[in-house]
Structure 1
Amino acid sequence: FSTPIPFIGASLFFWYIIEKQTVDTLSFHEVKPMVFIVVALLVIGFMGFDALIIEWNQGMVLPEAMKGIEKWMKNSEEATGEMTKFLTTFKTPSQLIVALVVVAVLAGISEELLFRGVLQNITLRAFGNPHLAIWFAAFTFSFIHLQFYGFFPRMLLGALFGYLYYWTKNLWVPMFAHFVNNGFTLLMAYLYSTKAVKIDIEDTKSVPLSMALGSLLFTILILRWFWMNRAEVKYKN
């Protein structure tokens, strides 16, 4: 999320110049305002289960024959981790606002434009399979971050954004979901650093199994609601 401008530039160049598409084909169909409320609840509710996957992913150990790959993965994790720490360490409200703009707003717009708006659409047109398109875009979205000890939870998050986009046909929906995910995490980290809250959102080991399973159930129910009401959430043209 440290390169939003190149992401936006590359996306628009590829979409307009190479693919010769228009902004309409990115899908910005109007959706009802309640969709954004439900999306915010979904993203925050999903964090409990995602924390369980994060904990499992961070403890992953590769076989002896793959130690070279594991070393490269750890080096990449450390390098990108330093940048992440720099962007998410702040002590004043003004620093929090800057972080929200860069990490939540710009990252949400640029990454969703590239991975959902461009890559997912191109893959869908090429193969005609929405699930393949969604998961391929989610895989690429996670891989490009080069943080492999958070690969699987990030891929799940990317798939979540992908399905929201596919069902609503509105790119603002995954952009908003991305903003809520990053923004809520930043806000909670800031409140924890100022001792305003006692919950450390970055400590995934503090999430009980019962809470993680409850989070999964909540996520499934909300996704089922989206699936059942995918036609009703959009305004009629």
Structure 2
Amino acid sequence: MIKSLLRRPHQELLTFIAITLGIIVIGYLIGGAMVTGLYGLDTLMAIGILDLSNPKVPNALWLLQIVSTTLPILAASLIFAFFIVKDPQTYLRPTFKIHWVLPIIVFCVMIISSPLIECLSNVNQKLQLPPFLAGLQRWMRQTEDQAQKLTTVLLQMNTVGQLIFRVLIVGLLTSIVEEFMFRGCVQTILLKWFKNPHIAIAVTAALFSAFHMEFFGFLPRMMLGMLFGYFVYYSGSIWTAVWGHFINNGTAVVVSYLYQNKKITVNPDDTHIFNWVIYLFSLLIILFLLFLYRTIATGKKQSLQF
């Protein structure tokens, strides 16, 4: 009966948003209760005011993140696909039936995308809102700084065990959860809505980037979202995007660990490693690899257009 009511894409999208928000609220209540029970109310309050001096905060943050956000988003996607629209094959695209070359191309794209990500990050950092929106820009900067503080705490690693844990959570679990949500449910709904795959992929990527609430990293994250979107659209499998997402996140975690423990000297937060020649080279190679990816995934010769 519910499925019959969702005949229009905007109804599906509103339903999915409502389910996601509802489960996240429940997750926050459960997560807050668990943090209070395990670490004390003072730790929960410390998280609320971003008092990172409390030694219990890092573990409590991980618990709160997983219980209040990560697992609820996964649950929302699964509930929507299996019980609301009752079509997980279309909305989640969980098939593993892809050409064996595609994961190799995805790996190459993600590695070669680093210069382009840096370029877009530098452009993003220089963007300024009009003077009458100065208050909004200050709020955006404060939000970004707070998010960066939390990320620094969550990615603090001193042992190999801590590295493995973060690779599994930030690299693997987060990739699965976010791809099920965005390239699975959201992109599928928008494909039905816009009837144009490029618009649907771009809008999904913009929503994906905005979801992270890191405004001064909006452009590079949107570019990644578009890459993931095309991976899924051309292959018909969510796992190509999960693989690319995992490579991006997992690499960031490993590089952070190596830098923190003085195994490498290049700061992963440095955005002035490459130059314009390498930026252009990165763009051209990515376009060629996407063309190759589409050709192999669809199994037919196509012109160099996206």
Q: Please, what TM-score do these two structures have when normalized by structure 2?
A: 0.72
Greater CA radius of gyration, 1 or 2?
Answer: 2
Is 1:163 aligned with 2:225? no
Task: Read off the aligned partner of 2:81 and give its amino acid letter.
Answer: W
Give the structure 1 partner of residue 205 of structure 2. Answer: 138
Structure 1 unaligned blocks of 5 or more: none
* Percent of residue pairs bearing the same amino acid type: 33
Q: Structure 1 residue 76: deviation in Å?
A: 1.6
Alpha-carbon distance in structure 2 between the residues aligned to 1:105 and 1:222: 24
Give the structure 2 partner of residue 20 of structure 1. Answer: 86
Paired residue for 2:293, among 213, 221, 226? Answer: 226
Give the structure 1 partner of residue 26 of structure 2. Answer: none
- Asked whether the equivalents of residues 87 and 103 of structure 1 are also in contact (C-alpha less than 8 Å), the reply is no
Return 195-204 or 113-122, whichever deviates more.
195-204
Task: Read off the aligned partner of 1:148 and give its amino acid letter.
Answer: F
Alpha-carbon distance in structure 2 between the residues aligned to 1:43 and 1:147: 21
Q: Structure 1 residue 24: deviation in Å?
A: 5.5
Give the structure 2 partner of residue 6 of structure 1. Answer: 72
Return 185-194 or 127-136, whichever deviates more.
185-194
Within-5 A mapping of 1:48-87:
48-87=115-154
Query: Where does structure 1 differ by over 6 angstroms across 4 or more consecutive aligned residues?
Result: none
Alpha-carbon distance in structure 1 between the residues aligned to 2:86 and 2:194: 19
RCO greater where, 1 or 2, for CA within 8 Å and sep 6 or more?
A: 1
Q: Deviations over 1:123-157 (max 9, x none)?
A: 11222211121111101100011100001110111
Q: Structure 1 residue 50: deviation in Å?
A: 0.9
Alpha-carbon distance in structure 1 between the residues aligned to 2:88 and 2:220: 32
Alpha-carbon distance in structure 1 between the residues aligned to 2:88 and 2:281: 42
Which SS does the other structure have where 1:195 is aligned?
Answer: coil
Task: Read off the aligned partner of 1:93 and give its amino acid letter.
Answer: V
Give the structure 2 partner of residue 116 of structure 1. Answer: 183
Q: Structure 1 residue 199: deviation in Å?
A: 2.6
- Asked whether the equivalents of residues 29 and 169 of structure 1 are also in contact (C-alpha less than 8 Å), the reply is no
- Asked whether the equivalents of residues 81 and 91 of structure 2 are also in contact (C-alpha less than 8 Å), the reply is no
- Asked whether the equivalents of residues 179 and 238 of structure 2 are also in contact (C-alpha less than 8 Å), the reply is yes
Q: Structure 1 residue 72: deviation in Å?
A: 1.7
Q: Deviations over 1:197-236 (max 9, x none)?
A: 2332321122222222221122111112112222239xxx
Return 87-96 or 147-156, whichever deviates more.
87-96
Which SS does the other structure have where 2:297 is aligned?
Answer: coil
- Asked whether the equivalents of residues 99 and 297 of structure 2 are also in contact (C-alpha less than 8 Å), the reply is no
Which SS does the other structure have where 2:183 is aligned?
Answer: helix
Give the structure 2 partner of residue 102 of structure 1. Answer: 169
Q: Structure 1 residue 102: deviation in Å?
A: 1.3
Mark the CA change 1:111 to 1:81 in structure 2 (over 3 Å): closer, same or farther.
same
Give the structure 1 partner of residue 221 of structure 2. Answer: 154
Aligned pair count?
A: 233
